Structures are given as structure tokens and as C-alpha cells.
Structure 1
Amino acid sequence: MTLEMTAPTVVEPPELPAPPRKRRRKWEDIRAAYVFLGPWLVGFLLLTAGPMVASLYLAFTDYNLFTAPEWVGFDNFIRLFNDPDYHQAWKVTATYVVLGTPLKLAAALGVALILNATFRATGFYRSAFYLPSLVGASVSIAVVWKALFMDDGPVDSIQQFFGFPAGGWVGDPDMTMPMLILLTMWQFGGPMVIFLAGLKQIPAELYEAASVDGAGPIRKFGAITIPMLSPVIFFNLLLETINAFQIFGSAFIISGGTGGPARSTLFYTLYLYFRGFRDFQMGYASAMAWVLTLVIAVITVIYFRSSRFWVHYAGDEGR
């Protein structure tokens, strides 16, 4: 006769409901969270989500702010392809993004490398270089910048002193883009601070080991600084690209609200403003806004997809 041994069955005790005091405390915490989150939710719904949904609807309508919107389907989007000013706006904006963004980041990284060294009055110089980013977006700075580059302005006087032809940059269609790129480069303080924080996180032992192996400054920069700083470079590149697509204030002030001379400062957002608030073609402007949103979204996806090939994070070696 064979005896079969079976393992005893373990009976899990039933889960007891939480005491009433605990349940009450949990709901009190949830209510408190919604109370503090409430103002943000209201602001998000009324000032962000609501206008976005409304503009998406208006993009398919003919709306002039004075009459009821009239549904026109995809007419506004089809009209974009036949609008020469729209094509010019994309050309000007793309030139600014492609040239201005890398130059601004290069200036920010160069100054951050200098300020990363230890010397007297380091804090003063860091604050001084960051200061233009605090005031650079204001209307007053754009007015001052325009005055610098006008006929008989300081830049024109310097040109004539060194034997260059007289004439300001503001009225020259070939020089307005370099002038605006110089303005955005002058406002490199924001990415500079982020670069500086990233440089502080690179272990000094890596540079010491490279020095023992005979690596020079250029070799250290290419083999250590850039790879270790690549997440910060990616962050700044993405942020500055999005900001460059949205340039408006400086272009509006310097061009006098016209996009001139010869449409050389007709940026995308400036042309959108013309259509929506000067010509009262709000449906057409809404269509432009959504095209810009989709373009920025596609570029963002491309950035993230490509980052796997050149952005290196800590711990990637073990994957």
C-alpha cells in the first residue's frame, strides 16, 4: 500500500477592508490634491486646451471675427500651397532656424567652456553673460538693436570707419537675417547655463586619464566633453529649435510690423499674425498655426529618433 504525501494547502486570509479612518484620510488627501491642482486645470482648460480645440475647428472654416464661422473643409490648407507669401515665410523661418540655432548653441558652449574654468570673479562673469537672456526678449531691447543697425547708427559708423560702404542693416534685405541671427546669438545665456551645469557633472578623472594617455585639448573635447555632454546638447538643441520657429517680437519691432524690407523678415509667426489680426482671416491663420504645430511635432520626433545614434547616457554601456 502506497501512501501519497501531498503538500498542505495554504489558505490566504481574506483582505480586510481599510479602517474607516484610513479611508477617510485617503479621500481627504485626494480632495486636497484636486484643490491645489484645480487652478492649473482651470487655466489649462480655458487658456490652452480650449483655444487649441477652437482653433482646430476654425482651421476648417472661413471666419473673420465679425460673422459666424462658415465651414469650408480643407480649403484653407489647400490655399496655403498657392500663397507665395506663405512660401516666403517658410523660407525665412527655415533659414533662421538652420543658421541661428547652431550658431547660438556654439556660442553658448564656447562661453560655458571658458566659464567652467576656475578664476577670480567667475560668478560675476557668469551673471554678466546670462544677463542678456533676461532682458533680450523685451521690446525695449529689440528697439535698441534696431537703433544700432539703422542708417547713421553705431554699426554704420564702424563700417564707414573701416572703409566699408555706408548704410544700415535694417533697410538692407541681405543683412536683416544676419542682424537677427546676431540678436539671437547675443541671447545665449539660457543654454550657456545649462551647458555649464552639464560640464560640472563630467568627472575630472576622465580628463586626467586622457592626459596620461597623451591626449591634447582637442582630443579631450571630441572624445570626452562632447559624448558626456550629448544629453545636454540634445536638450538645448530641441528647445532652441522650437523657440526659433516661434520668433515674433524682434522681427515685428525691427521690421516695423511690415515683414520688410522686401519680405526679408516675414517670419512664419509674423505672417500668421498678419492674416489673423490684420486681415481678420482667422480661419486661414488657424490653419497656419496647426501646420506649424505639426511641423514642430515631426521635427521633435526626428530629433528623438536620431538621438539614439549620438546621445549617450550614463549606463548605456551595459545595455
Structure 2
Amino acid sequence: MSVPDTVGPQVTEPGVQRAAASDRAAARPPDRPRRMNSGQRRKLRTGLLFISPWIIGVVVFILYPVIYSISLSFTRYSGMEAPTWVGIQNYVTAVTDPLVAKAASNTIFYAIIAVPLGLIVALSLAIAMNQNVREVALYRTIFYAPSLIPAFAMSFIFIVFLNPQFGVFNQVLNLFGGANVNLLGDPTGVKIAIILMAQLGAGNAALIFLAGLRNVPRTVYEAARVDGAGPIRQFFSITFPLLTPVLLFNLITGVSGALQVFTEAFIVTNGTGDPDAGALFYMMYLYKNAFGFAELGYASALAVLLFLAGLALALLIFWLSRRFVNYDVEAG
């Protein structure tokens, strides 16, 4: 009587099965990319048509000017004749130009004071606008209204307000026996005046802070009150840590705006940007070289340096944000 070679199903070791599967996968031809059908192509064309104004705007008003400015930064160009290639001479001049150093120092002074002060003012306004009172809608309107005033109009208001002869500021000082002060004529005073002027536009950042405050879960505050935490403890242990993503956004936008401060300084100095008056900010000096001295190549080099400085600061802030930005409600 003969015995069959195999009885029942043949059992193969798992390792052999995996090896065979891998061999089949290797022998299989690579998948070809799927081609879009007519409906998908039609949807793609429709989508591109709808976003084409944005694409055209980015290319025409952002990408092309940036590339053109970079190319002009290596030339001497007045806008009246063809550009002349000078290599890195504009950048060498910018590094050794004392007025560039003066304008940069004024801008850094402005940013160091205006940005943190603006964040504090905006957060304070947001907390005030987040109170559960009957008139909160009116308060929000009052707090936000100054940010709607154009910068040039606010600058003229401050010029009248700080006038050394008949300004309200000096009239108040005279009531308390003080002498008239010409803040707009003092190198430090004019920067302080422009910094205070910028705080009237804190309403935009306050609205962003307010949105962050409204997203903090109420249950977290209730649990903190049960544990005996007071308002100050709740702010530093709950509110502030959960607002750090919003703080990061407002910090980036605040630094970007501080590096480009221009309108207030232009109006306060009557467009001169006098270095002795202390209002010669970086953008003001860039403007004077481009449209006052017809040095468009040199102004383009200054613009490129400003872009690189802003990019470096943004990357630094993002790197530091890993230590203080909290995205987890349960953390901290």
C-alpha cells in the first residue's frame, strides 16, 4: 500500500511566504501614474481660473518686483538711463555708510520698545474686551476705533497735540508748572512720540488676542478655581500659556511692521528724514535714496538687506518659539 507524498494542505514557513511575496512585488512592474480623466481636468481648469487673479497678483506685484530689485541691487541706476553693472559695490557702500547705521539703530530702538509695548497694550485691550459685562460691545468698538484712523491722519493729530507753542500736551504741562517741551525736535523724544502713536493701532492685534481668549476652554478656568487659583494665577498658568500661538503670530507681524515704519516718520519730519531729529528710520533712508537721490540701485541693495534681516529675525523667533509656544491645552 503506497503512502501519498502529502497529506492535507501543504504548510509553508512564514519566512518563505514573506520572501515569495517580496519576490513577486519586485517582479511586478511599477505602477504608472494615474491620468486625470476629462472631469478631473475640467475641475482643475475651473479651480485655476478662480485662483488666477491671486496667482497673477503674486507674480506681478510680489515675485517680479523682488527678482527685479535683486537684479537692480548689483547696478547703478537712476531711472533715467540704462542700469550699469557694479557688482557688490552697493552692498559694500551700505555696510560702510554711516547713515545706514544711524537708520538701522533708530529702527532697532523703535522695534525693541514698540513691539513689546504693543503686545502688552493689545493683550490688555483683549482682556478688557473679553469681560462679561452688558456694555462690552460698546467697549470693543471704542477700543478698536483708533486703529481705523489712517496713519497719516494720526500723524497730523500728534503734530498738533505735541506742538511746542499751543499743543495740548504742553498746555497740560503748563498747568502743573512745567515748561514747554519740543518732543518732535528732540532725537529721542520724536522716536518716543512715534512709538506712542503706534499704540493707537493696537486694536487689530487685540482682536486676534480676543479670538484666542474666546477659544480657551471655560472648564480649565473652572477647574483652576476649584483648586483655589486666583485671577493672577489663572492668567499666568492658563491664559498666557494657551495664548502663546497667538502671541507668536502678533510678534512676527509686529516685528515686520516695526522694520518698515515709514509713514509717521515721513509726516513728522515733513519728508526730510533729518538724521539729527532722530526720525531717520531704515525705510525712510531707503525712500530718500530711491526717490530723493535717484539711487535706485543702492536703494534696491538696502531693500535686499532689509529683507534678509527680516527673514533672519523671523527664523530666530520661530526657533525660539519652540521653547515658549504651547499648542497643547493640557500642557503647562
TM-score (norm 1): 0.91
Is residue 227 of structure 1 aligned with residue 241 of structure 2?
yes
Q: Any idea what the Cα deviations from partners look like across 1:90-120, whole Å, max 9, x if unmatched? A: 0100011010011011011112112211112
Q: Any idea what the Cα deviations from partners look like across 1:155-187, whole Å, max 9, x if unmatched? A: 111122122221332222231011011111111
**Corresponding residue number in structure 1 for 2:94:** 80
Asked if 2 retains the 8 angstrom alpha-carbon contact of 1:60 and 1:74, the reply is yes
Letter in 2 for 1:197: A
Q: Distance in 1 between matches of 2:34 and 2:299?
A: 56
Is residue 266 of structure 1 aligned with residue 305 of structure 2?
no
Q: Distance in 2 between matches of 1:268 and 1:230?
A: 29
**Corresponding residue number in structure 2 for 1:255:** 269
**Corresponding residue number in structure 2 for 1:306:** 320
- Which sits farther off after the overlay, 93-102 or 25-34? 25-34
Letter in 1 for 2:162: F
**Corresponding residue number in structure 2 for 1:67:** 81
Q: Distance in 2 between matches of 1:182 and 1:140?
A: 15
Q: Root-mean-square deviation (CA), in Å?
A: 2.6
Q: Any idea what the Cα deviations from partners look like across 1:45-69, whole Å, max 9, x if unmatched? A: 2211111111100101111111111
Is residue 147 of structure 1 aligned with residue 160 of structure 2?
yes
Q: Distance in 2 between matches of 1:18 and 1:58?
A: 44
**Corresponding residue number in structure 2 for 1:187:** 201
Q: Distance in 2 between matches of 1:266 and 1:193?
A: 31
Q: Distance in 2 between matches of 1:23 and 1:89?
A: 58
Question: Number of residues paired by the alignment?
Answer: 313
Is residue 210 of structure 1 aligned with residue 221 of structure 2?
no
- Superposed displacement of residue 142, structure 1: 1.6
Is residue 287 of structure 1 aligned with residue 301 of structure 2?
yes
Return closer, same or farther for 1:159/1:176 CA change in 2, 3 Å cut-off: same
Asked if 1 retains the 8 angstrom alpha-carbon contact of 2:147 and 2:203, the reply is yes
Q: Any idea what the Cα deviations from partners look like across 1:195-238, whole Å, max 9, x if unmatched? A: 11111111222222222222222221111111111111111111
Aligned partner of 2:175 among 161, 173, 184:
161
- Which sits farther off after the overlay, 37-46 or 86-95? 37-46
Letter in 2 for 1:286: S
Q: Distance in 2 between matches of 1:82 and 1:23?
A: 61
Q: Distance in 1 between matches of 2:304 and 2:224?
A: 49
Q: Identity, % of aligned pairs? A: 35
Asked if 2 retains the 8 angstrom alpha-carbon contact of 1:255 and 1:261, the reply is no
Return closer, same or farther for 1:216/1:64 CA change in 2, 3 Å cut-off: same
- Superposed displacement of residue 316, structure 1: 7.7
**Corresponding residue number in structure 2 for 1:91:** 105
Letter in 1 for 2:179: P
Asked if 2 retains the 8 angstrom alpha-carbon contact of 1:59 and 1:286, the reply is yes
Is residue 238 of structure 1 aligned with residue 252 of structure 2?
yes
Letter in 1 for 2:149: V
Q: Distance in 1 between matches of 2:34 and 2:304?
A: 49
- Superposed displacement of residue 315, structure 1: 6.4
Q: Distance in 1 between matches of 2:238 and 2:286?
A: 44
Asked if 1 retains the 8 angstrom alpha-carbon contact of 2:248 and 2:321, the reply is yes
Return closer, same or farther for 1:77/1:268 CA change in 2, 3 Å cut-off: same
TM-score (norm 2): 0.88
Letter in 1 for 2:299: A
Asked if 1 retains the 8 angstrom alpha-carbon contact of 2:273 and 2:280, the reply is yes
Return closer, same or farther for 1:261/1:147 CA change in 2, 3 Å cut-off: farther
Task: Compare CA radii of gyration and give the structure with the larger one.
Answer: 2
Q: Distance in 1 between matches of 2:123 and 2:5?
A: 82
Aligned partner of 1:102 among 116, 136, 153:
116
Q: Distance in 2 between matches of 1:238 and 1:57?
A: 28
Gaps of 5+ in 2: none
